[in-house]
Structure 1
């Protein structure tokens, strides 16, 4: 099953602007809600966990800057200000209030959709990293191979193996999912965070080869833990595992 579509709140007192934004958002696959003032927006935010808020500055009763501050106090939802106020001072006030981006009216709907997509992808990546960090054990051991994520250290038989950052990240990811096969494209997404998979898949092969070589210098058995699944990708083969939580 695919991911649920992102839900976006449009806050603008101009019905025409809300209608245009909603049309483009829904065409892009998002779910859109509308609010015509700050009070209505705050009420909706209390009920629904939005993935992003599009916010005008010139609102009745409560201006957009104040609403931005109040939203930021409640949660870390990404906020994009879309306003006719284009002076540098206005932009700075928006960013100081907690906005993630600032778009000046009149705007290109296509450019706005691009900005929204980039912000949502960045927010999703940060959430995934935070979740992995919370769930990551303090150490993972397979036979004489020890991986310590917090110290960013790998040892074999007590001897340190010097790995480059992406080499460590790749080995760590495979170790967190023993006996599970990942394609090169999967590994590019998870380890390199390359959602578009435009990077050459041979990058994975090169890193695996370097990891094996460095592990082999300490222990052929440790190097042999990383198995090639022909026609598919790689996995870390393990019959025993010792996980030490922090």
Structure 2
């Protein structure tokens, strides 16, 4: 059974979502702020999160950033804020989707199901890009049958980019995903690792390239059919 954590300081919203989630066969755990949610997630295996933004102690933005660093689950944000700047901040924090209050509970379910399907495809153990296969289970990369063993951070950086082909990541986002929020080094370390990856996979340029998006960051661009497994 899929367990969903709902984090909202409004007890009525938590109860409403519980009714709909349980009716659809989901198990739900709940928290009224970000700190409580983190404590619960240390003890409970959850597969998705529905998170309010405006909460005491630890708000939804910071909670989402923490989840992105330490948990491999889709996040759906609920908020009364509908301005474009707030949506941008939510997506930069790492949310996978965003719904403005008041909302229809059925829409939350539709979006949750879509996220779970998409997340399963994205986070399969193997990612296929042309002739390259990235195996998350044994940290190996195979290109045309040849196995390549990468240093851990290079592997994680490549897997992050390859999981979302053609999506742009800022250096800050890559630092958070690969090195974690506690990283105290210079974000130019991303540039160094990108340079190394380009050199290692220069022979795969018919399948993909790692593009620099000036003033923003990087993306892995697929150049022919292959996609993800």
| Alignment TM class, shorter chain as reference | 0.5 to 0.7
Unaligned runs of 5+ in 1: 139-148, 153-246
Shift of 1:14: 0.4
Larger radius of gyration: 1
Secondary structure, aligned partner of 1:82:
strand
Aligned to 1:213: none
Aligned to 1:82: 78
Return closer, same or farther for 1:64/1:29 CA change in 2, 3 Å cut-off.
same
CA distance in 2, matches of 1:64, 1:119: 18
Shift of 1:83: 0.6
Aligned to 2:26: 30
**RMSD in angstroms over aligned alpha carbons?**
2.3
Q: Equivalent of 2:144, from 151, 154, 160? A: 151
Secondary structure, aligned partner of 2:50:
strand
Aligned to 1:21: 17
What TM-score does the superposition give when structure 1 sets the normalisation length? 0.52
Aligned to 1:7: 3
Aligned to 1:124: 120
Q: What is the aligned residue count?
A: 138
Unaligned runs of 5+ in 2: 128-132, 146-229
What TM-score does the superposition give when structure 2 sets the normalisation length? 0.55
CA distance in 2, matches of 1:66, 1:128: 26
- Counterparts of 1:75-114 in structure 2, within 5 Å, are 75-114=71-110
